[in-house]
Structure 1
Amino acid sequence: MMTTPAAPPPAQGGRLNVIALISGGKDSFFSLLHCLAHGHRVVALANLHPPETNEHEGSKQEEEEEGGGGGEEEDLNSFMYQTVGHQVIPLYAEATGIPLYRQPILGGATQGKDYSHFSTAVAVQGEGDNNAKAKHVKDDDDETESMIPLLLAIKRAHPEANAICAGAILSTYQRTRVESVAVRLGLTPLAFLWKFPILPVPQHLAGGDVATTDAQLLDDMAAAGMEARIIKVASGGLDDSFLWTNVADRLGKERVARSMRRFGTASEKGAVIGEGGEFETLVLDGPRQLFRKRIMVEEKDRRVVREGGGCAWLSFRSAKLEDKEVTVAASDEEKSDTGKIRIPDLLDARFVGVLEGLNTSASAGEEEARKLLALLNMEPQHSLSKQEGTFQLGLPQSLNDRKLQQWCFFGNAFSSAGSSNTVETETSLLVSRIRQRLRQSNLPPSAILTSTILLRHMADFPTVNSIYGALFDSPNPPSRVCVACGDSLSALTNSNGSISIAIYLTVHTGFTNKSKTDQRRQGLHVQSRSYWAPANIGPYSQAISIPLASLSSSSKPSNSTGGNHDDGNGGPRLVTIAGQIPLVPATMALPPAEPEQQRQALNTQLALSLQHLWRIGLEVGVQWWTSAVAYFPAATTTTTTDSSFSMPMSEKARLAYKTWQSAHQWSSKVASDEEDSDANSDPDEDDGPDLWDRKFNPRYMSFAVTSTEESSSSEPKLPDWSVLSKNNNSKDEKKKRRTIPPFFAAQVAELPRSAGVEWHAHLGVAKAGSKSVTVLESFAANINSDDGTGEERVVEVHQTVVRSPPSTSEQDDDDDDLDDMDNDDDDDDDKGVKIEASGRQPALLQTIVVERYMGGSSPPSSSLSSSSSSFATVDELARLSTRRLINQGHGEPDKERGGPSVMVRYVDVSLSAAAALGGGGGGGGGVSVAVVPCASLWDAYGERLASVTIYQSVFE
């Protein structure tokens, strides 16, 4: 009986010394408790408060006698910091026994949700993780920068401090600002509550509504022994009668949830826990592990301040500390308190199911392999010319109009003087060439969407990372994939010697320097440790997305002026996502594995790393993947616990595909329980706001279009089957749910962190309307090799079309065609779907050409041509398969339009000589085809491949 991974264990050997940012609210303190649960040590509390005339920057605050002072009766309503209740904060030092440091808030909110310190301040980081020499140029207009002098003062008093924790849950605004400051000061950012509402909940709550699952956080706080009182309300669902309600209590939590359901806000993600500003809290007590004393505020010392518009808060005249009763030995109680902090399970229900499937008998994979052998005997297409029934588009863009370009840069093995270059020198030269190419093209670094970095040795990664990172000085750097190819990397150049690095960049040439703040490019860059997904601390984002419409030859930057001109910011979005390895997010370490359980360990890594890809995809709205590759490291003999798991690559490929397939086909078997209807017996269950209030009263406007049904239907789904349209051969709507995006496995030398697998989805599709994605029927063809031997090769073509939503009339025509395809009249089978891009709306075509090896499992190196023309036939096949989709009404494309662009080519180097790979010379120059040299390539069923090439075309 297999066991699924539970919550990750506390950190072993990775204890951090944490500065805890506290506001007095429940989230910052609960995040602090999670730090303690992971074995970290909290060395100081840090708080920012409204300006006061007698404060000294960075000074340690003595507790005011009896909590002294009501302070000014105003709330800053900061987007960044909770300020109401700040008069009680000084008591936390004595209550917890942890030194407290405070600093006035200077300035206000600036910029958007993603934060760049380069526009407001400069901090120069010195050497080492604990850099006390960071310099700061203060900007009094930006409230974020108020953290810098406070944290510097704490680091001077506690030089061992190397991490910072905050209570961000769903606020990108808050998280990115803390991360910006932390990284500049050499502190590891911790945000254990990040995305907490979407993480696995206890089994009995699975399938519940949003309010139920969100409120689990409040249940967890109650179980931990916290007392968190509401001290501010700012929502039509909560009036001032809710002030001083304990939300870390079952009755208080249920009262809040009932009221929000009544007013229509409970279905909004995070509302029940106050993430939308519905309420703010003040923590008075917690487990003895943290709180030695309890804070008391008597009723006579609390006064309600009403601001209007539904906003009210409590002003405190006085507060005091109270000793806690000791019923057991303190040390024993503290140990028991540690176990009360619920750590979410490592895997979601989807990937628990995936892992259970992987740990079953291998017979299923063998059966799938037999099915493949039958598939390979199918009759190949005899012609690639236009045929009735083919999905048809407009004309492909000309070479000059293409806005997505692939730039390739290769290292130099030798300097101009003939001496060998170090990897540091090679990387610096490449970065210089990239900067030069950007300048020549009038493009900012933000025009780079994603990068692939190939190294000779993974040990060079830290050196490369620091130099490469200097390219980017704004939020959301490109997503990135990094693998090590070993000696195969030298096959990319025609020069003698061994290069150490190659960099491939996907660049959007429409994002010029004139549109440097172009809002069409969006990103996700989470640098904090959490339970959600691995932190990306460094110059790469989890995801970057652009609108499909921005690829139109007529699109303009979104900040340009041009009347009614389309700003290129609507419709489907194309998403690039960083390669994902199986790190446990909270510890940033690989899952523990027993040597005798290698297969189960690999299965866990497969499921966990794919879950990371899924969670990131869902966060940025991905509904469909166009294709994916699973990288595996080559087997090594230097260690007994290496990441290769000592099993054949054919088996690893089958396991990876089973993971990919199961993740797509999994469906929840948990039915939602109907909510208990006890409205008539509860005094709080009166009617919600009437229709007039919902439409015209500012206090209730946010509820006007909110409903449980709308919220549930808008929840992201991956895969989202509604975005798929039927292809020309489909007669069964259910076939869509059996459609799996193309997959293959690539063996390279090494992966980051000695991981056993790395998942890379080539492209995600987000914000796609109904039937916006078409997966065309795959086909096979026999082609002759170019080496004069007359040997035939089997080549498969897989194509996916992403298009902007058609007009209403086109949609109706599409539906009619699809209805016709479903009937039993054979005369209608060839009607097909002819869909053209309306106006100048573009459509993206991804073509994958898979070249199979037909000569057995151990091919000789001479089995393929050593001439670069060995890929000429493959490229020609891609061109012909693209050409057949051109609508007949548009005529033939002229030569200027050329063929599809090669985005990346994966090649088994044991089957192709160096000259066949398409690499550049010793210095690159950004003109060669992007090639990933692999030790071996495998399909979904464990069969050997010679090459896989991914092409893109844009039609208008």
Structure 2
Amino acid sequence: MKFVALLSGGKDSIHSTLLSIQNGHELICCAHLAPSIDNYDDDYESYMYQTAGSEVLRLQVEECIGVPLYIRHLCGSSRNTSLNYTSDNTDDEETADADEVEDLYHLLQEVLQSHPEINAVSSGAILSTYQRTRIENVCSRLQLTSLAYLWRMGSQSHVLDSILQEQYNENDAKMEAVLVRVACPPGLTTRHLGASLRTLRDSGVLSALHEKWGMHVAGEGGEYETIVWDCALFKLGKLVLEETEVVSDGNENGVGVLKIVKCHVEKKQWIDGEGGLKGNGMSNSNGSHSSLDLEVTSRVQESRCSSRTSCGGHSTNTASQSGLILKSLQGTPNIRVMKGGLCHVSALLSPTSTRASSASEEAQCAVDEFLAILETLHQILHRLSASSKPQNDILFVHLYLSQIAHFAKINEHYRQYFGMHLPPSRSCVGLGSDMLPGGRRVMLDCVLQIGSGEYLRVDCNSCDGVADGKMSKFVRDALKNKQHALRKTLHVQSISSWAPVCIGPYSQANVLRSSLVFLAGMIGLVPSSMKLIQSTSDDVADWEMQLYQSWRNAASVLDGLEDRGGQLKDCLGGLVYFSFDAIKTVAERSVFDEASSANKSEISLRMLWSTAETICHKAVADNGGIQMGSVDGTAISSELDSNLYDENGLLYGGYEDEETWREIVGASEPSTAAESTSSVPLLMVCLAELPMNAQAEVELVCASRRAATCLEVYNGAIVTSPIMPNNANDELTSDRDTLWDTGYDCLASRTKVGNEAPRVHINCITRCIGIGCACISTITAGIDLESSDSTNLDVDDVLSRMVDSAIDCTTTGNEAAQFNIQHVLNVRLYYVAAALSRGKTAKDNPIRVDVVDDGTMLRARLHSILASKSMKQHDETVMNEAGNYVPSTSIPASTVVPVVGMHFSTGSCDNSTHQLTTFLAMQVAFVDAIRMETEMWIRSNRKYST
């Protein structure tokens, strides 16, 4: 991309410019916001911009770098100081024009008039969400891409070392800078003005101030500002400061500024050919492997080595296929409303579906279906909320498409509906043609918290309007609660080295009530290039690399959350997607003998599951290679158990010993099971396509680190229960004569099973946080087959027992179950809807997919069973937005998802159960958000004011 660099003249903005060039972007010009003319000689205070040293910017850019510079004097000030800036959330037009953010907007408008080819902006934001979100707001309004390669780049010392030591060519100058502003009393004083930044680092001055006072050694907290006089970007010359003057308030420990009275440029023996800097020998995008490629390849290889010496998790194997095909659509969307306003809307499908005769017509039909779904969704949302924009309450969206090729057109309408400001997180996958009921192309479900959209868009530091009744009850109550946030959204739209950018209308993560984290689906993109990661070794496939990188990206996003971030081992529900291309890759890279080639598709799937399992548990165990808290400086450096620290990072919560801490504040005892990171249960499914031709994607619901510190995250026992015929002569039959094919190379036969009927096993494991707070149960149903390849099953009985197992598994010890059907937010059922088969000749693809079931019957049966079980519970009431108690929507929301294959890894070393052929998998989410919020408040360390 061609970009304009926002330069202050300091180390951060210039280093970000260098990194942008290194990543293949072309520098066209630079832009700078200088102090207003009236305040030019004073120390201009700005929340957004560095103005110290502005007097040398023109020499820096035009004579040292050799590109045009555009300067605008600041007219506004920091008027709108809310964390999430929008141009329309100010009180009036006069205030908006008076905000210094609007000065940036007008400056970039001027740049674009002279350089319409520019499509990106670089900036030096490191940790300031305040600064980054404002730059992203302006970029979004001007349809520009934000480049922020320093964003969460690493720890304070790592960032500073990277800035001072980076060289792109042997002859390039390292960065040299001097301090031009200090505001860190005591510590950096006016006598440090003009001092070399490199000298201050090498002499240990900065590290000593960090140890003593907690000063940010990279100056991110505004402790100091710099002017760069030489670096690799200065190809034409370097600055020479001839005369300077210290401007201060007379107090040596006060704020001071170094005014540069006279300077000149000392020319270098280097001349750039044409305008614009593109690479200049700095780019590493020449086909060589990056350090990230090498690191991830190494970690994947390590996972293989460790899998040879450690026990694998108990796993159930690939699923069977249904022989019943129905094309009619029955039923309506499922809507679940819980206490506290948490809702789930599931199974949104278009009422009608039409056939298309061309690819363009097919895409338009998908758009038409999506618009019909949005219309239905909007009607539902308006019944749930009185907000003018109820879609702002949605915090997570599942978007299922028949073909990923439809995504681009659908995304245009998705963006219009949800907007670009604080949107929900999203997971999007391609299921394959004819996999949805009646040949439909789009299915959607979503999680929402009533009132959370309005909550995000008000200043939570002020309670103005809480008492006047203008806000909904949910928002008023949430603003009064200073312990927890109703919702927080992490939406980074800048390209960086941290995690994949969310340029589209979705956020990296949404956090509900400071406790539950809903992560967007993560694929194996390299954040700095936004391209899929590639293997550096012949024995590691690209899909393996993408899988580990997906976990790494998820870990980076968790680490970027507020309240000490998060980590992968706090995952409550893990779902790993694989595309059909991953199976093909396994088949192509494997050698089959004559006996096994007939079952190539099944063997390939089993090989995929086996390798994926080791990679996933390796990634969880080492948190994707990301050290939690290292960027923010909150990483625990002690060798003691991390569970001995509270949510604020204090050992024993600040008490003298562990026993006193647990006795006084009721801190949970760490459990052995919880400490085993490999115990995170994972459901893996294979389907047709993933975004950007990815071969792996990870979708997680996690406990926030704050919640996991207060409340224990643990696994329930693995429960396995067989379903046997009434007697040895009975058959496992169904009145509906539903057939499930358990093989891969043919459709279901109608062979009746005689006296040796196979046993059906229900396997279940639940991962919980706290007691009665939240958990996700993963349940599978599988058949133990020795010779027969198909059987008739009573699907109602199997589904019923799966739901019962989910509830039974929430027990702790000898106590009753923590949850019942009324606590179920949603049920997601996965079934194999297509048969995998080998090609007839060697020229055919090694594996192909034959769709055999669109799941219409399963949807109806699951809804009926959930309704029946819900009727057995006493009706409860929930509070609506008006504050009145009304009967709850008592049936849990449910979604039925067709896949090509599935695999369940409990993470346990117990292999005593039979190896099963799985034909159904279910994930059930239990949530009592109010109880979780209360338990966190009770168990966290609190300061009482008098």
**TM surpasses 0.5:** yes
- Is 1:545 matched up with 2:495? no
- 1:339-418 mapped onto 2 (5 Å cutoff): 345-346=291-292, 354-358=299-303, 360=305, 368=312, 401=339, 403-412=341-350, 414=352
Whole-angstrom distance in 2 between the partners of 1:102 and 1:606: 45
* Paired position in structure 1 for 2:607: 651
The structural deviation recorded for 1:114 is 2.5
Instruction: Classify 1:114/1:292 alpha carbon distance in 2 versus 1 (closer, same or farther; 3 Å).
Output: same
| Corresponding position of 1:478 | 424
Q: CA deviation at 1:509?
A: 3.3
Call closer, same or farther: CA 1:20–1:511 in 2, change over 3 Å. closer
Tell me the equivalent position of 1:765: 704
Tell me the alpha carbon deviations over residues 106-136 of structure 1, each in whole angstroms, 9 at most, x when there is no partner.
32331422333332499xxxxxxxxxxxxx9
The corresponding residue for 2:375 is 432
Q: Whole-Å Cα distance in 2 between the matches of residues 885 and 303 of structure 1? A: 70
**Does residue 32 of the first structure (1) align with residue 5 of the second (2)?**
no
Cα distance between partner residues in 1 of 2:788 and 2:2: 53
Change (3 A) 1:885 1:843: farther
**CA 1:81–1:480: 2 relative to 1, 3 Å:** same
Pick aligned residue for 2:193 from 229, 243, 246: 243
Tell me, in whole angstroms, the C-alpha distance in 2 between the residues paired with 1:21 and 1:871.
58
1:42 Cα deviation after fit: 0.7
Confirm whether residue 78 of structure 1 aligns to residue 46 of structure 2.
yes
Taking the aligned partners of 1:535 and 1:670, their CA distance within structure 2 comes to 18
Rounded Cα–Cα distance in structure 1 between residues aligned with 2:696 and 2:382:
37
Identify the match of residue 587 of structure 1 among 529, 552, 559: 529
Kept in 2: contact 1:19–1:163 (CA 8 A)? yes
Matched, 1:613 2:569: no
Query: Do the aligned residues in 1 keep the contact of 2:578 with 2:697 (CA within 8 Å)?
Result: yes
Q: Using a 3 Å threshold, how does the CA distance of structure 1 residues 927 and 854 change in structure 2: closer, same or farther?
A: same
- Name the structure where strand makes up a greater proportion of residues: 2
The answer to whether the Cα contact below 8 Å between 1:633 and 1:643 also exists between their aligned partners in 2 is no
What is the distance in 2 between the residues matched to 1:940 and 1:417? Answer: 39
Kept in 2: contact 1:435–1:471 (CA 8 A): no
Displacement after TM superposition at 1:528 (Å):
1.3
1:295-310 alignment runs, 5 A limit:
295-299=239-243, 301-306=244-249, 310=253
Cα deviation for residue 246 of structure 1 reads 2.0
How do residues 784-803 of structure 1 correspond to structure 2 at under 5 angstroms?
Answer: 784=724, 787=734, 792-803=759-770
- Say yes or no: does 1:256 pair with 2:201: no
Change (3 A) 1:614 1:137: same
Instruction: Report the Cα distance in structure 1 between the residues aligned to 2:787 and 2:166, rounded to whole angstroms.
Output: 54
Closer, same or farther: CA 949–137 of 1 in aligned 2, 3 Å: farther
Q: Secondary structure at the match of 1:604?
A: helix
Deviation at 1:357?
1.7
Instruction: Map Cα deviations across residues 419-439 of structure 1 (whole Å, 9 max, x no partner).
Output: 997222222222222222222
- CA distance in 2 between counterparts of 1:593 and 1:935 reads 26
Contact 2:435 2:898 in 1 (8 A): yes
The question of whether the paired residues in 2 share the 8 Å contact of 1:525 and 1:540 is answered with yes
| 2:780 aligned to which of 847, 850, 853 | 850
Instruction: Go from structure 1 to structure 2 and tell me whether the alpha carbon gap of 1:509 and 1:334 turns closer, same or farther (over 3 Å shift).
Output: closer
1:485 and 1:748 in contact (8 A); partners too: yes
What is the CA-CA distance between 1:597 and the residue it aligns to? 3.6
Closer/same/farther in 2, CA of residues 755 and 340 from structure 1, 3 Å limit: closer
- Does the 8 Å contact 1:233/1:278 carry over to 2? yes
Secondary structure class of the residue paired with 2:433: helix
Q: Tell me the distance in 2 between the aligned counterparts of 1:859 and 1:520.
A: 51
Asked whether 1:100 is paired with 2:69, we answer yes
Matched, 1:929 2:894: yes
Is contact 1:576–1:763 with CA below 8 Å preserved after alignment? yes
- What's the TM-score once normalised by structure 2's chain length? 0.70
Change (3 A) 1:747 1:338: closer
Distance (Å, rounded) in 1 between the aligned partners of 2:678 and 2:519: 21
Distance 1:857 1:509 in 2: 53
Query: Which of 136, 155, 176 is residue 133 of structure 2 equivalent to?
Result: 176
- Give the whole-Å Cα distance in 2 for the aligned partners of 1:654 and 1:535: 31
Distance 1:303 1:707, change over 3 A: farther
Partners of 2:51 and 2:903 lie apart in 1 by 57
| Inter-partner Cα distance in structure 1 for 2:861 and 2:419 | 29
Retained in 1: the 8 A contact 2:532–2:694? yes
Structure 1 distance, partners of 2:619, 2:586, is: 31
Q: Which amino acid aligns with 1:900?
A: V
1 CA distance for matches of 2:557 and 2:227? 32
State the Cα distance separating 1:29 from its structure 2 match. 0.7
Give the Cα–Cα distance (whole angstroms) in 2 for the partners of residues 169 and 858 of structure 1: 61
Alignment of 1:483-882 (within 5 A): 483-491=429-437, 496=438, 498-509=439-450, 511=452, 514=471, 519-547=485-513, 573-592=515-534, 597=538, 599-620=540-561, 621-623=565-567, 624-635=570-581, 648-666=604-622, 733=672, 736-737=675-676, 739-768=678-707, 769=709, 772-784=712-724, 787=734, 792-803=759-770, 843-855=773-785, 864-865=793-794, 870-882=798-810
Q: Distance in 2 between matches of 1:24 and 1:638?
A: 52
One-letter identity of the residue aligned with 1:182: C
Q: Distance in 2 between matches of 1:873 and 1:521?
A: 35
Matched to 2:352, the amino acid is: F
Q: RMSD between aligned alpha carbons? A: 4.7
Q: Secondary structure of 1:539's partner?
A: coil
Q: Structure 1, residues 898-920: CA drift from partner, whole Å, max 9, x if none?
A: 46343422222249762343269
**Cα offset for 1:176?**
1.3
State the 1:347 CA deviation.
Answer: 6.4
CA distance in 1, matches of 2:608, 2:268: 58
- Contact 2:165 2:175 (C-alpha < 8 Å) held by counterparts: no
Secondary structure of residue in 2 paired with 1:612: helix
Task: Tell me, in whole angstroms, the C-alpha distance in 1 between the residues paired with 2:396 and 2:252.
Answer: 45
Rounded Cα–Cα distance in structure 2 between residues aligned with 1:455 and 1:137? 45
Letter in 2 for 1:953: F
**1:69-116 deviations in whole A, cap 9, x for unaligned?**
xx7332332111111222222222233211111122232331422333
Tell me which amino acid in the other structure corresponds to 1:946: F
Cα offset for 1:935? 1.0
Please give the alpha-carbon distance, in whole angstroms, between the structure 2 residues aligned to 1:546 and 1:449.
Answer: 8
Shift of the 905–423 alpha-carbon distance from structure 1 to 2, 3 Å rule, reads: same
What SS does the corresponding residue of 2:375 show, helix, strand or coil?
Answer: helix
Distance verdict in 2 for CA 1:731–1:257, change over 3 Å: closer
- Give, as a single letter, the amino acid of the residue that structure 2 aligns with 1:604: M
In structure 1, what residue type is equivalent to 2:782?
R
CA distance in 2 between counterparts of 1:716 and 1:934 reads: 43
Q: Is the 8 A contact 1:626 1:762 kept in 2?
A: yes
Contact 2:43/2:257 (8 A) holds in 1: no
- Counterpart amino acid of 1:909? A
**Is 2:36 the counterpart of 1:51?**
yes
Distance verdict in 2 for CA 1:539–1:628, change over 3 Å: same
Larger mean Cα displacement after TM superposition, 234-243 or 743-752: 234-243
Contact between 1:776 and 1:800, CA under 8 Å: does it hold in 2? yes
**In the alignment, does 2:400 pair up with 1:454?**
yes
Alpha carbons of 1:336 and 1:280: their partners in 2 closer, same or farther (altered >3 Å)?
same
Q: Secondary structure at the match of 1:113?
A: coil
Letter in 2 for 1:907: Y
Measured in 2, the distance between the counterparts of 1:306 and 1:34 equals: 37
Corresponding residue for residue 83 of structure 2: 113
Q: CA deviation at 1:654?
A: 1.8
| SS in structure 1 at match of 2:248 | strand
- The alpha-carbon deviation at position 47 of structure 1 amounts to 1.0
**What's the CA shift for 1:413?**
6.6
Look up the match of 1:914: 855
1:18 offset after TM fit, Å? 0.7
Counterpart position of 1:277: 222
Contact 1:868 1:917 in 2 (8 A): no
| Shift of residue 169, structure 1, vs aligned partner | 1.0
